[in-house]
Structure 1
Amino acid sequence: MESEFKNKVAIVTGGSFGIGRATALAFAKKEAKVVVVDWKENTETIDLITKSGGEALFIKCDVSKSSDVKAMVEKTIATFGRLDYAFNNAGIEGESAPVQDCSEENWDKTIGVNLKGVWLCMKYEIPEMIKQGKGVIVNCSSVAGLVGFSSLPAYVASKHGVIGLTKTSALECAKLGIRVNAVCPGVIQTPMIDRLTGNDKEAIAQFTNLEPVGRFGQAEEIANAVIWMCSDGASFVTGHAMAVDGGFVAQ
């Protein structure tokens, strides 16, 4: 049976590592053509896709810069002629500090990548999908978009903002054939978590204890959720923030 994703085109921002890489590979496995986007040159994800017989393109892009994002979408269309799916995943954790100690620089950078970046991506993705009369966007929020976390004010604010932006866009696009949803990962084994824990056993245990299932999630588990949200099986799902979190927000 032919995959519904075959010859469709997917953009994945933050596609060089972690959840982004896993999702890019999942799209490729479904026979989609994948545009892997990241802020610095890294072709490892592309190499993995092409070695398995898939088709992919790498685009260097800082999602906090309008000119970069506009060029990213333009190059996608120039190369593949269409845009069917977008996983707006690029994000940073920022620096850890209480609200009163959070620097303006950290605030601006974190909001710039995590929230402004998602807005800019949709700003240029949606018009191309409108031309086609169809498309699916999944934005990467976090369980930190559903609950608060001490000492990560910019990150938490940005991820809450992604959910609000997702709902607004979903309403605007509801009759245009475009669905917009968000995925909210829990504690996932990624380079970001490695940075937060410093691979310290105690820190790892603390993060593991946050998860009712007693383990970190895997990037592939988030990728599976994104693929489902992009599939026809989720055709009546829009404006939804899906927690994929091992029960974290159920506590």
Structure 2
Amino acid sequence: MSQRVLITAGASGVGRAVAEAFAATGARVWVADLDSKALGECPSDWQTTRLDVSDEAAIVAMFDDIAAHWGGLDVLCANAGIAGPTALVEDVALEEWRACLSVNLDGVFLCSKHAAPLMKAQGSGVMLLTASTAGQYGYPRRAPYAASKWAVVGLGKTLAMELGPHGIRANVICPGAVEGPRMEQVLAREAQAKGMSRDQVYQGYASGTSMGRFIEGRDIADLAVFLASDAARMVSGQVIAVDGHTVNPDPQV
């Protein structure tokens, strides 16, 4: 039977690449996203839900729909996240801090919380949590983002311990800098904050990896498909970077 896969923030960017990769394997795909326009551009055979991942009531309603429509869930890709502010820690407003953590951490927690009963009932499942290499190193001028991603790493390892006895695996994927519109926004903000050009910041990120370049959404998607497959049946509790090997997380500092 084909896998039943839920991807949050799956209508564009990395999430869309992940959704397309699973669909290419024959999986049934359910995409949740806050962007109604992007959802409307998803293939007609995908299930879609407009969702704010920080809204628990909306998440409960979505999982009720998944249970009614599919009868269970095989793979959760908790991928939704935002960049948060770019500022020195003393300049970060509490509201900005909370807004970043509400999506990047609360959203992952809530999706994991409500996916767990479905997976426990069937005695199997895979949870893939999207963190960041910012959850493995520091990330100057991005305190809320880095803190949220470190927390996702801890959550993922705890889920693996709690859920393993029920046949459920949990792993954390840590992307590096990903080519695309979202990273362009980050580059623009960091260039302004550091008094540099966009190209200088871009080259700084690229030169901070041993492979000297950004990654693409398909690099994350390929890993997600592997981790959800039987080929990775004994891989759980792992934190795996896809970043071209970061050797200097912030070469501009």
TM-score surpassing 0.5?
yes
1:147, 1:139 → 2: CA distance? Answer: 17
**Identity, % of aligned pairs?**
35
TM-score, normalization: structure 1? 0.91
1:151, 1:250 → 2: CA distance? Answer: 15
Q: Please give the root-mean-square deviation of Cα atoms over the aligned residues, in Å.
A: 1.6
Deviations 1:110-162 (A, max 9, x none): 00000011000011001000011100000001000000010100000000000
Matching residue of 2:184: 194
Equivalent position amino acid for 1:34 in 2: V
**Residue 10 of structure 1 pairs with residue 8 of structure 2:** no
Of stretches 56-65 and 69-78 in structure 1, the one that deviates more from structure 2 is 69-78
Matching residue of 1:3: none
Matching residue of 2:192: none
Q: CA deviation at 1:211?
A: 2.1
Deviating above 6 A after TM superposition, structure 1's stretches of 4 or more consecutive aligned residues are none
Matching residue of 2:227: 229
| Structure 2 CA distance for partners of 1:246 and 1:45, relative to 1, 3 Å | farther
Matching residue of 1:56: 46
Within the candidate set 34, 42, 46, 1:46 is matched to 42
1:249, 1:168 → 2: CA distance? Answer: 27
Matching residue of 1:210: 208
Q: Is the 8 A contact 2:208 2:248 kept in 1?
A: no
1:100, 1:143 → 2: CA distance? Answer: 23
Query: What secondary structure is seen at the aligned counterpart in 2 of 1:247?
Result: coil
**Residue 126 of structure 1 pairs with residue 84 of structure 2:** no
| Structure 2 CA distance for partners of 1:233 and 1:45, relative to 1, 3 Å | farther
Deviations 1:52-88 (A, max 9, x none): xxx3111011111111111121112222222100100
Q: CA deviation at 1:45?
A: 5.3
1:190, 1:73 → 2: CA distance? Answer: 30
Of stretches 69-78 and 90-99 in structure 1, the one that deviates more from structure 2 is 69-78
Equivalent position amino acid for 1:147 in 2: Y
Unmatched runs of 5 consecutive residues or more in structure 2: 189-196
Alignment of 1:43-192 (within 5 A): 43=39, 46-47=42-43, 50=44, 55-192=45-182
Unmatched runs of 5 consecutive residues or more in structure 1: 1-5
1:195, 1:238 → 2: CA distance? Answer: 33
Equivalent position amino acid for 2:164 in 1: A
Equivalent position amino acid for 2:208 in 1: L
2:24, 2:76 → 1: CA distance? Answer: 16
1:14, 1:159 → 2: CA distance? Answer: 16
How many residue pairs end up in the alignment? 240
Q: CA deviation at 1:37?
A: 0.7
Query: What secondary structure is seen at the aligned counterpart in 2 of 1:7?
Result: coil
TM-score, normalization: structure 2? 0.91
2:150, 2:41 → 1: CA distance? Answer: 29
| Structure 2 CA distance for partners of 1:75 and 1:228, relative to 1, 3 Å | same
Equivalent position amino acid for 1:161 in 2: A
Q: CA deviation at 1:44?
A: 5.3
